[in-house]
Amino acid sequence: MSTAIHKKVEVLLQQMTLKEKIGQMVQYNASWDLTGPAPSETSGALPYKELEEGVVGSLLNAISVKDIRKAQQITLEHHRLKIPLIFGYDVIHGYKTMFPIPLGESASWDLEAIEASARVAATEAAAAGLNWTFAPMVDVGRDARWGRVMEGAGEDPYLGSLVAAARIRGFQGDDLSATDTIAACAKHFAAYGYAEGGREYNSTDISDNVLHNVVLPPFKACVDAGVATVMNGFNDLNGTPVTASSYLQRDLLKGAWGFEGFVVSDWASIAELVMHGRATDKAEAAVLAANAGSDMDMEGYCYSEHLAEKVQVGEVDMAKIDDAVRRILTVKYKLGLFDDPYKYCNEKREQALLLSDEHLAIARDVARKSIVLLKNEGDILPLKKSGQKIAVIGPLAACKDVPLGSWRAQAITDSAVSLWEGIQTLVGENAKHAKGCDLGIGNRAFILELTINEDDVSKIPEAVELAKNSDVVVLAVGEDCWQSGEARSRVDIGFAGVQQQLMEAVVAANPNVVLVLMNGRPMPLAWADAYIPAIVETWHLGSEAGNAIADVLFGDYNPSGKLPMSFPRHQGQIPLYYSRKQTGRGESVAPSVFWSHYIDEQNDALYPFGHGLSYTTFEYGDIQLNTSEMSMEGSLKASITIKNTGERAGKEVVQLYIRDLIASETRPIKELKGFQLIKLDAGASETVHFELTAKDLAFYNSMTKTWGAEAGKFELFIGSSSREVQMVGFELR
């Protein structure tokens, strides 16, 4: 922190009353948008009285320059010390120009593209008056039933860490006070992604081994990348709701990791300590959370109503309050809000920048990079722009809304380029459309009832007829965007409604099918894999979805995405991830029945982590190591030559994994430790180099509670996915 800011904060702190200090620790919902269960007395109104009293530190969900200026004005006109508000909002995958959902964007493995996307989101949000986004969500997601896997970077902590850092660079830039940067927020600290049964808001119970080796590394990466804020979460972790966890917030985050920003609670997560059975009432909840290091109370009314009195009776130390306020004021200073509280409030900028052509072009580029070609039997793809009759079928084919995704901020309803529009732009009359069926969910935005499966098959015959009379069918199915995201856990992650029936009828009429999936989570695709020659995973790609997908379908863009989450054969395999443990009874015990397996399905993923094809082919040479014995202080250099053996230029994500064969605590069968995205012209080759040190081989030992690498034998794998790899051994001494 700069000494100038430090001094200013100290001077201000000296002048503040206890009431004013606690005011800074309070965040209210401004109710232009609703992202949580607002108590009825506050819904739909600005907290005028509190703003005038100067006892509000922040608002969330205030939208537009006009309204943000209004709220800031009320505060500053009345506030004795003129402390500006900080305005937060969930800018998760774009503000007005929508980008692919974060899970999709992570499938690009393209850190520059991911940074560029966050940069645009920050530029638009800042132009609309905002200062702070509640992103990135860095929860590792290994349970596809959990709807929020769409909001993270998938199942792997290494990829997740790099993606998180890229997004923070994009949001925050290198100067938080610039008018096109906003503060980022790493969330949800911690282990929210491990909700039991994949059920949203559920409890989490995980070992120290998983917590430190899998869950925490992306958060640590955020702190190292200079993230301005962290959000805790709703979940109970091993008996302590994380909002009340001193271990996480004080010992680790602010202690061992040296985090200098502030911690905001999740929506009412302080008040929910009562429901958890951890606090008797909101007053006790305030004490627990403040003592544990939750600096700001989002919409929980615990700090505003009870914290002052609890400080006065000595249940919370003044030093802790000062620490929280210091952190909050520091972020406000860094954002430049004290110099000019209205610096983000400029209607002209807002008008010029939101949904600009430049932003849409970047959105299209990132969307293309996020598409994963899962299967392409017989090179059915790319399609021809002429000389082919193309049927465009499916409930999502002409949909202009679902591709916008579930955390759509201020996106305009129905504003995405649909797949049908994208295809028509390229091939005009050569394509024809039939919907085939609806998506099979009822009330879209708020699915409150379970009556989501509808059984109307009346539109299928028309689609079948069209399929019969076409050379090839592009079949767009998947999930509504409101079937994933917050509060959208599913027990059945398959195709809702009559989509399966539609697929079967179309394939029977014309087997030349390209399945285009739009979804927010891995889906079980065993049937599709068995009967459909080409499958393209497009997630929910944002404003330019249809153009981006058409670019890929017709070969204007050669796909290079790789899955950031394993796709199961059957949903009964969940949680499913490549980085699993070997168990005491692995494949080697087969064919005896007494090994770790299912009797009715294979163990492995249908499409594993890291999988993704291209329209060209890549040949991997042999792995070369500079040594087969690496010292604790030294390094190991691995290289491999990759050749583009196909007929067009393409990109490949070259992935490096390791396995620690014998250790004092069991280690996964593979762990990603490096990757490189390379571009090769047809016929060209490139040698890719990796370097590992003992730090890359280190793990957290839950008995000794320390990080370190252990001497012994390792395996090193390089390949095109977590499955398609070559292996060489080496030893760490």
Distances (CA, A) of 248 to 243, 263, 282, 673, 674: 9, 11, 21, 25, 28
Cβ proximity to ligand NOJ: between 94 and 559 the closer is 94
Q: Does 115 bind ligand NOJ (CB under 6 A)?
A: no
Residue choice 267, 333, 609, 620 for contact with ligand NOJ (CB under 6 A): 267
Cβ proximity to ligand NOJ: between 37 and 729 the closer is 37
Distances (CA, A) of 349 to 72, 122, 124, 127, 178: 18, 13, 9, 6, 13
Give the integer Cα–Cα distance in Å for 264 and 30.
16
- Residue 568: closest CA among 538, 531, 611, 534: 611
Cβ proximity to ligand NOJ: between 45 and 352 the closer is 45
Q: Does 35 bind ligand NOJ (CB under 6 A)?
A: yes
Encoded one letter per residue, x for contact with ligand NOJ by CB under 6 A and - for no contact, window 365-404 reads: ----------------------------------------
Spatial contact of 416 and 401, defined as CB atoms under 8 Å apart: yes
User: Using N-to-C axis directions, what is the helix angle for 318-334 and 282-292, rounded to 10°?
Assistant: 70
Spatial contact of 676 and 718, defined as CB atoms under 8 Å apart: no
| Alpha helices (H) along 625-720 | 694-697
Say if residue 697 is exposed, middle or buried (CB neighbours under 10 Å; 0-12, 13-18, 19+).
buried
Encoded one letter per residue, x for contact with ligand NOJ by CB under 6 A and - for no contact, window 55-74 reads: -----x--------------
Q: Name every residue whose Cβ is closer than 8 Å to that of residue 584 and which is 6 or more positions away in sequence.
A: none
Find the length of the chain. Answer: 733
Task: Tell me which residue has tokens 């015959």.
Answer: 461
Looking at residues 452 to 491 of the shown chain, list those that interact with ligand NOJ (rule: CB under 6 A).
486
Shortest reach from residue 267's CB to ligand NOJ, in Å: 4
Shortest reach from residue 486's CB to ligand NOJ, in Å: 6
Cβ proximity to ligand NOJ: between 28 and 567 the closer is 28
Q: Does 42 bind ligand NOJ (CB under 6 A)?
A: no
| Catalytic one of 143, 236, 266, 480 | 266
Cβ proximity to ligand NOJ: between 110 and 151 the closer is 151
| Number of residues binding to ligand NOJ, judged by CB under 6 A | 9
Give the integer Cα–Cα distance in Å for 37 and 382.
46
The two structure tokens encoding residue 515: 């399945």
Give the integer Cα–Cα distance in Å for 457 and 463.
11
Cβ proximity to ligand NOJ: between 90 and 544 the closer is 90
DSSP 585: S
Give the integer Cα–Cα distance in Å for 200 and 488.
7
Cβ proximity to ligand NOJ: between 83 and 138 the closer is 138
User: Using N-to-C axis directions, what is the helix angle for 111-127 and 157-172, rounded to 10°?
Assistant: 40
Q: Is 551 noted as a catalytic residue in this protein?
A: no
Per the DSSP assignment, residues forming a β-bridge with 372 are 537
Shortest reach from residue 545's CB to ligand NOJ, in Å: 24
Q: Does 169 bind ligand NOJ (CB under 6 A)?
A: no
Q: Does 36 bind ligand NOJ (CB under 6 A)?
A: yes
Shortest reach from residue 230's CB to ligand NOJ, in Å: 12
Cβ proximity to ligand NOJ: between 193 and 719 the closer is 193
Q: Tell me which H or E stretch contains 58.
A: strand 58-60
Residue type, 568: P
Shortest reach from residue 90's CB to ligand NOJ, in Å: 5
Say if residue 244 is exposed, middle or buried (CB neighbours under 10 Å; 0-12, 13-18, 19+).
buried
Shortest reach from residue 106's CB to ligand NOJ, in Å: 17
DSSP string, 250-261: IIIIIIIT---S
Residue choice 28, 95, 132, 134 for contact with ligand NOJ (CB under 6 A): 134
Q: Does 551 bind ligand NOJ (CB under 6 A)?
A: no
Shortest reach from residue 234's CB to ligand NOJ, in Å: 7
Give the count of alpha carbons within 13 A of 274, CB side only. Answer: 12
Q: Does 266 bind ligand NOJ (CB under 6 A)?
A: yes
Shortest reach from residue 247's CB to ligand NOJ, in Å: 21
Per the DSSP assignment, residues forming a β-bridge with 642 are 620, 686
Residue choice 79, 187, 369, 670 for contact with ligand NOJ (CB under 6 A): 187
Residue choice 20, 67, 90, 537 for contact with ligand NOJ (CB under 6 A): 90
Shortest reach from residue 601's CB to ligand NOJ, in Å: 33
Encoded one letter per residue, x for contact with ligand NOJ by CB under 6 A and - for no contact, window 671-700 reads: ------------------------------
Give the integer Cα–Cα distance in Å for 700 and 665.
9
Active site residues: 266
The residues that touch ligand NOJ, with contacts defined as CB under 6 A, are 35-36, 60, 90, 134, 187, 266-267, 486
